[in-house]
């Protein structure tokens, strides 16, 4: 089962700023506006639009696959996929304990080679409830605090 990353409040905030700057540049460039000011407004609009597009592409290309082999994570710009076997998953909880409004889910797993002895995958899936139910089905040994 594949879960894509949620666009989220940050994405919508950047999109709204891009729209604001685009409208500001398009509608307020009149005869009283100097060429430098108009160019600066156009540059602002282009920067915010590119940032919104980058966030959109990053969010649409990040996903988590849950299957019988384990949890697979794929991120934008990463050449390799991270796979965690189900028997290694130890804890599933909110990133910030007690706060679930941001939609994040942290999956902790055993990682013997690291200094801490564990690794963490932070997911922001579009369908959070179904994602957690699937994790419970595949990794019943894990401690769930979500």
Domain count, the chain: 2
Same domain, 35 and 99: no
Query: What end-to-end distance do the CA atoms of the chain give, in Å?
Result: 20
User: What pLDDT, in 10s, does the model give residues 15-33?
Assistant: 888 888 888 777 776 555 6
User: What pLDDT, in 10s, does the model give residues 78-117?
Assistant: 777 889 999 999 999 988 877 777 788 999 999 988 888 8
Confidence of residue 137 (pLDDT cuts 50, 70, 90): very high
Position with higher pLDDT, 65 vs 29: 65
Same domain, 57 and 85: no
For 81-87, the CB contacts below 8 A with 24+ separation are 82/121, 84/109, 84/119, 84/121, 86/138, 86/139, 87/141
Question: What integer pLDDT is reported at residue 10 of this predicted model?
Answer: 76
pTM for the complete prediction? Answer: 0.73
Q: How far apart are CA 107 and CA 55, in angstroms?
A: 23
How many CB atoms are closer than 10 A to CB 72? 16
The residue whose two tokens read 């189900």 is 86
Range of the domain at 8: 2-61
Same domain, 84 and 39: no
């Amino acid at each position: 089962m594949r879960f894509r990353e949620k666009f989220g409040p940050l994405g919508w905030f950047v999109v709204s700023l891009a729209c604001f700057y685009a409208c500001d540049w398009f509608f307020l460039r009149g005869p009283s506006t100097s060429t430098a000011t108009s160019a600066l407004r156009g540059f602002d609009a282009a920067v915010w639009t590119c940032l919104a597009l980058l966030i959109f592409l990053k969010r649409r290309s990040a996903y988590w696959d849950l299957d019988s082999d384990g949890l697979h994570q794929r991120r934008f710009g990463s050449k390799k996929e991270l796979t965690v076997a189900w028997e290694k998953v130890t804890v599933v909880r909110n990133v910030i304990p007690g706060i679930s409004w941001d939609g994040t889910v942290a999956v902790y797993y055993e990682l013997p080679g690291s200094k801490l002895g564990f690794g963490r995958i932070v997911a922001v899936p579009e369908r959070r409830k179904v994602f957690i139910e699937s994790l419970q089905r595949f990794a019943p040994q894990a401690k769930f605090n979500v």
